[in-house]
Amino acid sequence: MDEEDDIILSELPDDELTLQMHDDLYDGMKEEIDEGVNILLGRGWAPYRVLTEALVAGMTIVGKDFRDGILFVPEVLLAANAMKSGMSILKPLLAETGAPRVGKMVIGTVKGDIHDIGKNLVGMMMEGAGFEVQDLGINNSVEKYLEALETEEPDILGMSALLTTTMPYMKVVIDTLVEKGMRDDYIVLVGGAPLNEEFGKAIGADAYCRDAAVAVETAKEFMDRKHNQLAAG
Amino acid sequence: MTNALKDMLENRDWILADGATGTTLFNMGLSSGDAPEMWNVDEPKKIHALYKGAVDAGSDLFLTNTFGGNASRLKLHDAQNRVAELNRAAVEIARDVADTAGRPVIVAGSVGPTGEIMVPMGSLTFDDAVEMFHEQAEALKDGGADILWAETMSSSDEYKAAAKAFALAGMHWCGTMSFDTAGRTMMGVTSADMVDMVNKLENGPLAFGANCGVGASDLLRTVLGFVAQGTETPVIAKGNAGIPKYVDGHIHYDGTPDLMADYAILARDCGATIIGGCCGTTTEHLRSMRNALESQEKGPRPSLERITDALGGFSSASDGTDDDAPKPRVTRRSRRA
């Protein structure tokens, strides 16, 4: 590689730098992302703008290619790690500036089910997209979900099941939320290998998410709608 | 070194493996959430019945109830210190069933994934994975397993770690991966990638292949992908009995015994030698598969159209082995590198 061909992030104008950061997220380059975040902050960008225009926009591209079977879990995890690293610089600044939060999710595998890889991937991708994630782990009873909803006050409840014998438990949780009049307080997303859209509808979830990329897209759509409703209301 | 599976592979054109373990145990009353491996000690009669069901239905080879028997998975049940006990118990019951079958039946010690993501994406190191698999491998060996059998792997590194552990235990082995994401494993491994990886192993398997995944048709496309690489190693096909459907509050797999019979025949025509089922495959399915394999001659290698006509469509247009597969975008750094 020619010396002159080196990409010097600090010499790129804002618009090219954000595009380069999208590329660097795609390539999973953590140090370059940290550097880019610091440069943009140094140029006076608001932390929230760095988060949305440089990081979240870049992860959206990664998410789309994951959804379309172009990128796979290893690439996506490297990208999410890079994103998280940039995010850790922004997090304290975001809190100080009172920026709107992207969203918060409580996620866990349902009672009777000990599978966790899919659920962990969703958690990592959601964090990668700027969401705050509280992971309840495996084998969660309805009581554990309810407790977490009360203490964490999330926007989204995510439930995962990998067994055909445990997926019906999702309905138990949703029915309990309905009974307690809490169902409409949360966006409920469900996922797991044996599920499908039909099942998601049948049990009263807001959406079934085929994979982690779709989960992130769906969560963002629902959060946008929620923000619009708040603005309208 | 002589080995029961090696002998069988030399003398037979096809070998019928077993069907579902989890599905069967749930039907016997295992509560979901409990580790199936506990039943090796707590409910040995039911595990005996699980194995005997497969053998009586015609299986020449069956896997032990030890899929989640590594320290990492057992830790979820606070049983990480019982790896040796639970694995040995599973094989001892299996040995009893195989040795009283009245015909040669092979006991394959099942080894599933750790459930951890390996470095650099995750935290599990190669050496730690080898250590966990080695611990389980020694217990399966002690119990009297004929061979070891890694299954449902999605990461090449984890498959290699299992291979290394099996070499340390001095055991012959087979190993399958699960191709469930656009024709690849969750970690993006294609059928061609797997052949390449298996060919490079120092301690290669007696047979390799695919299990679980999406439906029976996807699995056969993967088998054709293996064969297209011109591999000399026997190929394993262990597909699910169709796809799970949620009907009136119950789940069932839509693959009928007749469909699984067609699948078994097509698997052999595709070039698979060891043929079995995975999730949803009951003894009824196995009987039907055995009958079909015995009553029909091996046919020509089927086209993809023939497979989808018989078993249903594929879950993705490409499986990553052809030029039609979508490519990652070219970033500025990758262009310059």
Please state the ipTM of this predicted complex. 0.81
Task: Give the pLDDT score at A2.
Answer: 45
Q: What's the residue count for chain B?
A: 337
Give the residue on B whose Cα is nearest the Cα of A109. Answer: B33
Give the residue from A97, A130, A154 where a domain finishes.
A97
Question: In terms of pLDDT, which residue wins out, B294 or A115?
Answer: B294
Give the residue from A74, A97, A120 where a domain finishes.
A97
> Residue B316, SS3?
coil
Nearest to B190 by CA among B240, B217, B225, B158: B225
Tell me: pLDDT of A1 over 70: no
Same domain, A115 and A168: yes
Q: What is the model's pTM? A: 0.86
How many other C-beta atoms lie within 10 A of the C-beta of residue B311? 22
Q: Considering the domain boundaries, does residue A63 fall inside one?
A: yes
How many CB pairs lie under 8 A apart between chains A and B?
105
Contact (CB<8Å) B246/A198: yes
Q: Does A204 touch chain B (CB under 8 A)?
A: no
Q: Considering the domain boundaries, does residue A30 fall inside one?
A: yes
Q: Considering the domain boundaries, does residue A108 fall inside one?
A: yes
Q: Which two tokens stand for residue B44?
A: 């040995």
Contact (CB<8Å) B251/A165: yes
Same domain, A117 and A176: yes
Q: Does B20 touch chain A (CB under 8 A)?
A: no
Chain A residues whose CB is inside 8 A of the B337 CB are 1
Contact (CB<8Å) A24/B188: no
Chain A residues whose CB is inside 8 A of the B77 CB are 114
Same domain, A111 and A220: yes
Q: Does B124 touch chain A (CB under 8 A)?
A: no
Same domain, A144 and A39: no
Q: Which residues contact B287 (CB under 8 A, 6 or more apart)?
A: B57, B58, B257
**Mutate: best of B74, B114, B322, B332, partner A, most A CBs <10 A:** B332
Give the residue from A40, A71, A97 where a domain finishes.
A97
Same domain, A54 and A154: no
10 Å CB burial of residue B20 (0-12, 13-18, 19+) is: buried
**Number of structural domains found in chain B:** 1
Q: Considering the domain boundaries, does residue A4 fall inside one?
A: no
Q: Considering the domain boundaries, does residue A215 fall inside one?
A: yes
Report the distance separating Cα B18 and Cα A58, nearest Å: 46
Q: What is the CATH number of the domain that holds B43?
A: 3.20.20.330
B255-286 per-position pLDDT tens digit? 899 999 999 999 999 999 999 999 889 999 99
Q: Does A20 touch chain B (CB under 8 A)?
A: yes
A226-231 LR contacts (CB < 8 Å, sep 24+): A226/A155, A226/A187, A227/A100
Element holding B286 (H helix, E strand) = helix B283-295
Chain A residues whose CB is inside 8 A of the B328 CB are 26, 65, 70-71, 75
Contact B107, B60 (CB under 8 A): no
Task: Give the pLDDT score at A231.
Answer: 73
Q: What is the CATH number of the domain that holds A219?
A: 3.40.50.280
Q: Does A119 touch chain B (CB under 8 A)?
A: no
Contact B298, B269 (CB under 8 A): yes
Q: Considering the domain boundaries, does residue A2 fall inside one?
A: no
**Rounded percentage of chain A residues whose pLDDT exceeds 90:** 56
| Distances, alpha carbon A145 to alpha carbons A142, A148, B69, B113, in Å | 5, 5, 29, 28
Task: Give the pLDDT score at B337.
Answer: 55
Range of the domain at A189: 104-232
Same domain, A56 and A126: no
Task: Give the pLDDT score at A193.
Answer: 78
Q: Band of the pLDDT at A166, cuts 50, 70, 90?
A: confident
Contact B163, B201 (CB under 8 A): yes
Contact (CB<8Å) A114/B33: yes
Same domain, A56 and A71: yes
Q: What is the CATH number of the domain that holds A56?
A: 1.10.1240.10
Same domain, A112 and A222: yes
Looking at the DSSP bridge assignments, the partners of residue A134 are A106
Q: Does A198 touch chain B (CB under 8 A)?
A: yes
Chain B residues whose CB is inside 8 A of the A142 CB are none
A116-132 per-position pLDDT tens digit? 778 888 998 888 788 99
Chain A contacts in chain B segment 139-178 (CB below 8 A): 154
B212 appears as a binding residue in the annotation: yes
Q: Considering the domain boundaries, does residue A1 fall inside one?
A: no
Q: Is residue B120 reached through a cis peptide bond, with omega within 30 degrees of 0 on the bond before it?
A: yes
A174-212 per-position pLDDT tens digit? 999 999 999 999 999 999 877 888 889 999 999 999 888
Chain A residues whose CB is inside 8 A of the B35 CB are 114
Nearest to A1 among B122, B249, B336 (CB): B336
Chain B residues whose CB is inside 8 A of the A27 CB are 331, 333-334
B82-86 LR contacts (CB < 8 Å, sep 24+): B83/B135, B83/B136, B83/B139, B84/B135, B84/B138, B84/B139, B84/B142, B85/B41, B85/B139, B86/B37, B86/B38, B86/B40, B86/B41, B86/B139
Chain A contacts in chain B segment 253-312 (CB below 8 A): none
**Mutate: best of B246, B321, B324, partner A, most A CBs <10 A:** B246
B270 appears as a binding residue in the annotation: no
Same domain, A127 and A84: no
Chain B residues whose CB is inside 8 A of the A7 CB are 332-333, 336
| Distances, alpha carbon B224 to alpha carbons B164, B200, B221, B271, in Å | 27, 20, 5, 7
pLDDT-flagged residues of chain B (< 70): 1, 32, 244-252, 335-337
Q: Does B230 touch chain A (CB under 8 A)?
A: no
Q: Does B244 touch chain A (CB under 8 A)?
A: yes
Chain B contacts in chain A segment 146-185 (CB below 8 A): 163-168
| Dihedral sign from CA coordinates of A116, A119, A124, A125 | positive
Same domain, A127 and A214: yes
Q: Band of the pLDDT at A3, cuts 50, 70, 90?
A: very low
Q: Considering the domain boundaries, does residue A3 fall inside one?
A: no
Q: Where are the beta strands (DSSP E) in chain A?
A: 104-109, 132-135, 156-160, 187-191, 207-208
Range of the domain at B302: 4-336
Contact (CB<8Å) A202/B26: no
Give the residue on B whose Cα is nearest the Cα of A203. Answer: B249
Same domain, A129 and A223: yes
Q: Which two tokens stand for residue B115?
A: 């459930």
